[in-house]
Structure 1
Amino acid sequence: MSKPVQVYILMGQSNMLGFGKVAGAKDGTLESAIKAGKYAYLVDDSGAWVTRKDARNVRVMNFKDYKNDWLTVAKTGKIGPEIGFGHQVAEATEAPVLILKSCIGNRSLGWDLLPPGSERYEIDGTTYAGYKDSPDKWPTGTVAKKINWYAGKQYDTDVASAKKVLENLDKYYPGAKQYEIVGFVFWQGDKDRYNPAHASRYEENLVRFIKSLRKDFNAPDAKFVCATLGQTQKGSKGNEGAILTAQLAVDGKSGKYEAFQGNVATVYSHPLSKGGASNGHYSGNAETYMNVGEELGKAMVELLKQTRAE
């Protein structure tokens, strides 16, 4: 504990929460994948799930604790990308690691997770909400009738929930006295694909989301990795195509955003997905969640290596 805890904050919607099935002999469960020789690092010689003592796995949702333990696979229940991600970054980090997931399902970047500074905009006679506006849209020229929610409400809550964990660090990482936020992870986009306006603004919102997180957590050098929707292929049209294009555009290697070079990466999830779609939680296939998590971890490690090399 002589080194600051290396914190990775995971955000998104339901697939970031995780619906990968653990138990069972049927194809698609984590147990069946282990029996097939995959993800061998998750079990010890006796076949028991490995528990890492150098990485904590914490999940909060709307200020409530849902998980606070060492990184391992529960015998029952479900997994998200945090398992594959956590093992990748912990193996590459010579310091204690805290995987901190703060999110909830059914949230869009264009409304619930809209970052601070986002301005309202108009499309075809409809005004769409900017940050802290309510409701999400209204006929241009009319008075907006507020509802019990506002644009960015979930962003504010997820950020504040994560900060509460960090303010009580010893509760979530026993013995820890200091921390460093080194990375953000984002797997989201499903809800925005049902709204053409939100899909059309996804890139602008994602760019601001990255910048806002770094500002709000006072972590200007923190890396950012995101994953695309598993069912969406390159070349797709419509809302899903727009979201995929936006997610690929922020990758520093695309060259579109100079400020993101070497510190932002996107994982193309379609080749990693074992079927199903984001709205059906990829049929609960644990391999999809493991594959995406591993690749997010590898992308994060690569960004960190680039920084160290500099």
Structure 2
Amino acid sequence: MPRLRVDGAATPPLPVYLVIGQSNAVGAGANISDLSTAWKAPQPNTQVFYANAWPKLAPGVVQPDYFGPEISFGKRISPYGKIGIIKGSVNATNLAVDWSPTRAGSLYFKMLDMIQTAKVTKPIKIAGIVWMQGESDAKDAAMAKNYGANLVAFIQAWRRDLADQSIPFAACRVNPPHGEFPYAADVRAGEEGVTLPG
């Protein structure tokens, strides 16, 4: 049942974006000390779900030393209205296994659980998903070759389990092949080959 405001009207759900993936989503190496004062300030229109609460988004709220793409994303999107962010990112994780929507206990299911926990605290609606991941799969030839198919299945699983086939999904392109990521070109091809709408 929708929550009611004091005037009796239903409280509209907060549009919430997921920011998920591996190290680039975590923000590893992006030090808060490098930011200007303006970028360190809490964002008035953006909340982030953390420790069962919705504090204003600022560097250091979710991670004490680092910040990820949620900071610039919030600044870009929030001028259009109040938004929320749920961040779930883990260093060195792959799509093939760690985030697989077909593997019980994967990070995919942990994120679904987090969303359900967040829904207990306030009315929310998932408005979009930002996916920054791929380097871990780019270390393995088979994972890289199957990245496109795995990404399609991943997107379809989110839309199915969140009961919304129109959820926008932004897959940020993985870094070019180098050093420990020799199969990044295959991952990139997989990303770019996804033809699902939205």
1:72, distance to aligned residue in structure 2 (A): 2.0
Structure 2 counterparts to residues 164-203 of structure 1, below 5 A:
164-169=117-122, 178-203=123-148
For 2:53 and 2:141, locate their aligned partners in 1 and report how far apart those are by CA, in whole Å. 35
Q: Give the aligned partner of residue 246 of structure 1.
A: 190
From the superposition, tell whether residues 67 and 103 of structure 1 become closer, same or farther in structure 2 (CA, over 3 Å): farther
Q: Distance in 2 between matches of 1:81 and 1:103?
A: 11
1:8 aligns with 2:6: no
1:50 to 41, 44, 51: 41
Alpha-carbon distance, 1:217 to partner: 1.4
- Unpaired segments ≥5 residues, structure 1: 24-28, 35-41, 60-64, 116-130, 133-149, 170-177, 251-256, 264-310
**Pair member with larger Rg:** 1
> How much is the aligned-residue C-alpha RMSD, in angstroms?
2.6
Give the deviation of 1:106 after TM superposition: 2.1
How far apart, CA to CA, are the structure 2 residues paired with 1:51 and 1:217? 29
Q: 1:214 aligns with which of 146, 155, 159?
A: 159
Deviations 1:242-286 (A, max 9, x none): 001111222xxxxxx2x42xx1xxxxxxxxxxxxxxxxxxxxxxx
Preserved CA contact (<8 Å) 1:16 1:81: yes
In 1, are the aligned partners of 2:16 and 2:127 still within 8 Å (CA)? Answer: yes
Name the SS of the counterpart of 2:55 in structure 1.
strand
Question: What residue in structure 2 maps to residue 125 of structure 1?
Answer: none
Q: Which secondary structure state, in structure 1, belongs to the residue aligned with residue 85 of structure 2?
A: strand
Identity of aligned residues (%): 22
Post-superposition shift, 1:70?
Answer: 0.3
For residue 168 of structure 1, report the CA deviation from its aligned partner.
2.4
Contact 2:16 2:126 in 1 (8 A): yes
TM-score scaled by structure 1? 0.54
Q: What is the TM-score of this pair, normalised by structure 2?
A: 0.81
Residue pair 2:52, 2:118 contacting (<8 A) in 1 also: no
67 and 203 in structure 1: CA distance in 2 versus 1, 3 angstrom threshold: farther
Please state how far the C-alpha of 1:73 moved relative to its aligned partner: 2.9
In the alignment, does 2:42 pair up with 1:69?
no
Q: Measure the CA separation in 2 of the matches of 1:159 and 1:102.
A: 10
Q: In the alignment, is the contact (CA less than 8 A) between 2:126 and 2:167 conserved in 1?
A: yes
Give the aligned partner of residue 138 of structure 1.
Answer: none
